[in-house]
Amino acid sequence: MKDLCRWPFKSRGETSAKSPPPCQTGASCNTGAQKEHPLDAMAQKYHCFVSDLRLDPSLRREALLELSRCEESAYTLEEWQDAVSYLTESVRTFKNAAEAKRCILRWLKVSKLRSST
């Protein structure tokens, strides 16, 4: 897994000079020639550190929703596994990206049920 705390933002409100082109769904998915790890793309979109995506419950939910909207081919299987494992705080292995997306949706559903009780 890549160094997950390397994003160059100093604070949540600071913006970057370069930003990735958005995909057609509005998600921060890889669409160009330069591939970016999904966690890096989400951190850039939300102007935060990668660690904030996991530590802040609302950012975590937004990042997982965003990831679930990405095309399965946007990232490698390893990148899907890294991102889902990091954001859900449990080691996950998947056979394919579709399985990773189903896992995200289940996790979001369960976490919503927990927060409403």
Give percent of the chain above pLDDT 90: 63
Domain assignment present for 60: yes
Q: Tell me if 43 sits within 8 A of 9, measured CB to CB.
A: yes
Domain range for residue 62?
Answer: 38-116
The encoded tokens of residue 88 equal 């859900």
What does pTM read for this prediction? 0.70
Note whether residue 32 is domain-resident: no
Mean pLDDT of the chain: 79
In a domain, residue 93? The reply is: yes
| Per-residue pLDDT tens over the stretch 50-103 | 999 999 999 999 999 999 999 999 999 999 999 999 999 999 899 999 999 999
pLDDT of 22 strictly over 80: no
Instruction: Of 40, 22, 35, give the one whose Cα is nearest residue 83.
Output: 40
Instruction: Average the pLDDT over 35-57 and give the result.
Output: 96
The domain total for the chain is 1
